[in-house]
């Protein structure tokens, strides 16, 4: 069943994604002025996990292979520049994220790349399925980045993760 989506809705969703990304950019830059904790590292991917509820709606269903590929692209490719630009330092006994000059540009670049890819993918699959694919891509990116941050946090604080 194909559902017709009005073009103004697509524009609204795209503008909404840009606004959310700009807000996320400001929040990330502001957060670098506050100490990092394990809780602050773990909560974003846990909160984002609620997005899997979208898959209850049949129109959002995608083949498992598409989901695996989207998650892998997010985990391996999109998280890489975030991992490379995320470093911690200890100041007065507390862990802070180092502000790197390129971090804002990396976030903007990833947003631009996602928007372009979104427009391309949307030509071949439904808007709902495109949303599913890009949610999985973003979730893979965030989860991988936050796991990297958790490892780095534990390394810099001397906490050993159980293996």
Could you give the CA distance from residue 87 to residue 97 in angstroms, rounded to a whole number?
Answer: 6
CB distance 3 to 128 below 8 Å: yes
Q: Which residue has the higher pLDDT, 111 or 38?
A: 38
Could you give the CA distance from residue 50 to residue 47 in angstroms, rounded to a whole number?
Answer: 6
What mean pLDDT comes out for the span 58-87?
94
Task: Write the CA distances from 129 to 1, 4, 24, 94, 109, integer angstroms.
Answer: 12, 13, 24, 43, 23
Query: pLDDT by residue (tens digit) across 49-63?
Result: 999 999 999 999 999
Q: Which residue has the higher pLDDT, 24 or 1?
A: 24
Burial per residue of 10-41, b for 16 or more beta-carbon CB atoms within 10 angstroms, e otherwise = eeeeeeeeeeebeeeeeeeeeeeeeebeeebb
Q: What is the pLDDT of residue 163?
A: 46
Q: At what angle do helices 103-122 and 127-157 cross, to 10 degrees?
A: 160
Residue 95 pLDDT > 50, yes or no? yes
Q: Which tokens in the block code for residue 126?
A: 């439904």
Q: What is the pLDDT of residue 5?
A: 57
> C-alpha 148: how far from its chain's center?
13
Q: pLDDT grade, residue 114 (50/70/90)?
A: confident
């Amino acid at each position: 069943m194909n559902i017709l989506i009005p073009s103004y809705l697509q524009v609204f969703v795209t503008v909404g994604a840009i606004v959310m990304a700009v807000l996320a950019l400001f929040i990330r830059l502001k957060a670098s002025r506050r100490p990092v904790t394990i809780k602050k590292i773990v909560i974003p991917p846990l909160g984002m996990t609620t997005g899997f509820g979208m898959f209850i709606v049949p129109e959002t269903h995608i083949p498992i292979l598409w989901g695996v590929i989207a998650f892998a692209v997010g985990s391996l490719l999109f998280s890489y520049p975030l991992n490379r630009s995320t470093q911690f330092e200890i100041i007065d006994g507390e862990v802070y994220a180092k502000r790197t000059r390129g971090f804002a540009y990396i976030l903007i670049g990833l947003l631009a790349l996602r928007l372009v890819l979104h427009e391309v993918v949307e030509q071949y699959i439904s808007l709902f399925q495109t949303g599913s694919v890009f949610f999985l891509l973003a979730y893979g990116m965030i989860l991988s980045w936050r796991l990297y941050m958790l490892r780095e946090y534990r390394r810099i604080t001397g906490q050993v993760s159980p293996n």
